[in-house]
Structure 1
Amino acid sequence: MDVFQSLRQSRELTENERMIAGYVLDHPEEVARMSSRELARRTYTNPTAVLRFSRKLGFDNFNDFKVNIVSDLKRARMDGVRVRPTDAPVAVCDKMAHLNARIVEETKRKLSMRTLRQVASLIEGAAAVDFFATDLNAAVASYATHILCLTGKLCCVLDTLDRSVYSALVAPADHVAFLVSKSGMDRTLLEVADVLKGRRVPTVAITASPNAPLAGRCDHVLEAFYFTRSERFGEMVFGTSCKYLYDTLFAMVYAGSTERVEALARSYDALYYDRLDRSGVPGGSLPYYDDSELPD
């Protein structure tokens, strides 16, 4: 767990320590260059409080704490993907490839394997999967419904206030609900989470803020990656992180029900290609590729 994740998730801080934590999260680069005395002055505390704060997080002293801040800033930095007007197309391609790789790496690093297994099991056992999300989150959730339908799961996206609330009010307990919010503060989703809890519907929060109210109101939390200094790419960063989570869950559900999923795929092919001839390819079929050549 990195420094910033520890700060966001720590629930045993005193009032003074919460003030220090908040300042560090808001000004990490400045804090990395400060003395403990200066940080104490900025947070209206004292150097002893800063030392206790550092040790409570597991560091030997404040300098050790700062070293880890610098290390985590370097790992999460997105400055290398800033797109400039003078960039050639190949440079843009390279930067986007780097950005996507970094997002996946950071999302994977934050994942709890135990939570991931629990959520995959919920999907496997659910009669249907509901995604409560808006805007880009809803668009990425729509992608998730498509890949999960390949495993035989009924899925839908609830992307407006009316649809979200009405659906929550009648949701049966054999559904599983994903509530997606970068900030974890969306008022509609908070109310929906409470309604679903009352109806005993299992809930999964996908958020970049694991200490936000939404995370506390859901049964499980998957932390998606978001970097506040990513400028115009912020929404894309969170959306790409969510997509990686959905892809991983799909693969786990597929791996757990391979025979059933492949039987469904054969039934689909028989209908789609043989009877409906929807391929748009002369002869009614697409080029065949042997997936045995792909890596395991």
Structure 2
Amino acid sequence: MLLEKLRRGEGFSEAEREIAGYVLERREQVLGMTIGQLASAAYASNPTIVRLCRKLGVSGFREFKIVLASELERSAGIEDVDANVPFGLKESAETIAGRIADLTQATVREGSQLLQGPDLDAAAALLDSAKQVYLFATGDSMVRALSFQGKLLKVNRLVHVTHLMQEQGYYAYNAGIEDCAVFITYHGQQSGYAEYAATMKQNGVKLIAITANSEGTLADLCDLVLPLPLSEDPISKIATFSSQIAIDYVLNVLYSCMFNLRYESNFEMKQSGQTYVERMNGL
């Protein structure tokens, strides 16, 4: 999405970053500007703006404004909340609840816009056909990975996950051509993951990355990348609100797409498994 690319600023020159910053701060105002007015306001040149537009995947400033207007229209009605500091000092509980609700909606909306149907179908097929699934995650993302493991377990998928880096290394070493690995890492720079991915790729393991760093080394090694909105700063954030909302959303979508491939049999398996567990636990 256009706004997401502006926030990332990947491959931008310093002048292009200045333009991107100006647009992000004055989105509605930019819609009414000519290219010359934006160039003057952002202390840039017309050719620099045109180059930025092409890096963003649009032909020029006119198409840029059309796409920007469309994205702003889709986000209308939801307050723009800072993902790093979504509420201020001594705000009421009601205000905080509303801001977190807005942040949740905005994150899911952006995440939905980034996901592509063909990539989801391909990722679901890889999980469905895998003999074993390996999940790589740490920190808060591990909680989401464990939840995902629980969902897959209920439809009889063999899933391995551990928070210990040494054990993750063994997973990478032992995984084979019939297996699939999913890397869940917001910034895509978790120590060791690129090396693990390189080893598994050499051994024929199918690789999926769920990350906001879709152009990093890890993403380049993976067969498929399911992108996350990039909205959190590792230093200034007060908690991993947006990133974990986004990861949870993508994992839920991925599970649902995989479940849907064998809907009737998966549904029957989940129901019969739940009945057995409840009977064994005297529920």
TM-score tier, shorter chain, comes to: 0.7 to 0.9
The 3 A distance-change label for structure 1 pair 93 and 171 is same
Deviation sequence 1:108-132 (CA, Å, 0-9, x none): 0111110000001111111222111
**Mapped contact 2:107–2:229 kept (Cα < 8 A):** yes
Task: Give the RMSD, CA atoms, in angstroms.
Answer: 3.4
**Which residue does the alignment assign to 2:205?**
201
> Percent identical across equivalent pairs?
19
The 3 A distance-change label for structure 1 pair 90 and 77 is closer
5 Å matches for 1:180-191? 180-191=184-195
Structure 2 Cα separation of the partners of residues 25 and 137 of structure 1: 30
5 Å matches for 1:32-181? 35-36=38-39, 47-55=46-54, 57-61=57-61, 65=64, 75=75, 77-79=80-82, 82-181=86-185
Structure 2 Cα separation of the partners of residues 27 and 190 of structure 1: 34
Partner SS state of residue 118, structure 2: helix
**Mapped contact 2:133–2:181 kept (Cα < 8 A):** yes
**Cα offset for 1:28?**
5.1
The 3 A distance-change label for structure 1 pair 27 and 217 is farther
Q: Counterpart amino acid of 1:252? A: C
Deviation sequence 1:17-68 (CA, Å, 0-9, x none): 6444455556654687884267566xxxx6534434435642533x875786
Matched, 1:223 2:215: no
The 3 A distance-change label for structure 1 pair 66 and 251 is closer
**Mapped contact 1:190–1:217 kept (Cα < 8 A):** yes
**Cα offset for 1:88?**
3.1
**Which residue does the alignment assign to 1:211?**
215
The 3 A distance-change label for structure 1 pair 259 and 192 is same
Structure 2 Cα separation of the partners of residues 52 and 232 of structure 1: 32
Structure 2 Cα separation of the partners of residues 68 and 228 of structure 1: 24
* 1:260 alignment partner, one of 262, 265, 279: 265
Which segments of 5 or more consecutive residues in structure 1 lack a partner in the other structure? 280-296
The 3 A distance-change label for structure 1 pair 102 and 47 is closer
Q: Which has the larger radius of gyration?
A: 1
* 1:239 alignment partner, one of 244, 250, 253: 244
**Cα offset for 1:77?**
3.3
Deviation sequence 1:202-241 (CA, Å, 0-9, x none): 0001111211221111110000123137953562211111
Partner SS state of residue 240, structure 2: helix
Deviation sequence 1:250-271 (CA, Å, 0-9, x none): 2122222233223323432342
Q: Which has the higher contact order (CA 8 A, sep 6+)?
A: 2
Moved more, 77-86 or 254-263: 77-86
Partner SS state of residue 232, structure 1: coil
Structure 2 Cα separation of the partners of residues 229 and 70 of structure 1: 26
**Which residue does the alignment assign to 1:285?**
none
Q: Count matched residues.
A: 268
**Which residue does the alignment assign to 1:284?**
none
**Which residue does the alignment assign to 1:282?**
none
Moved more, 48-57 or 89-98: 48-57
TM-score by structure 2 length?
Answer: 0.79
Partner SS state of residue 160, structure 2: strand
**Cα offset for 1:106?**
0.8
**Cα offset for 1:86?**
3.0
**Which residue does the alignment assign to 2:276?**
271
TM-score by structure 1 length?
Answer: 0.76
**Which residue does the alignment assign to 1:291?**
none
Structure 1 Cα separation of the partners of residues 97 and 227 of structure 2: 27
The 3 A distance-change label for structure 1 pair 269 and 70 is closer
**Mapped contact 1:40–1:50 kept (Cα < 8 A):** no
Q: Counterpart amino acid of 1:166? A: Y
Structure 1 Cα separation of the partners of residues 68 and 220 of structure 2: 27
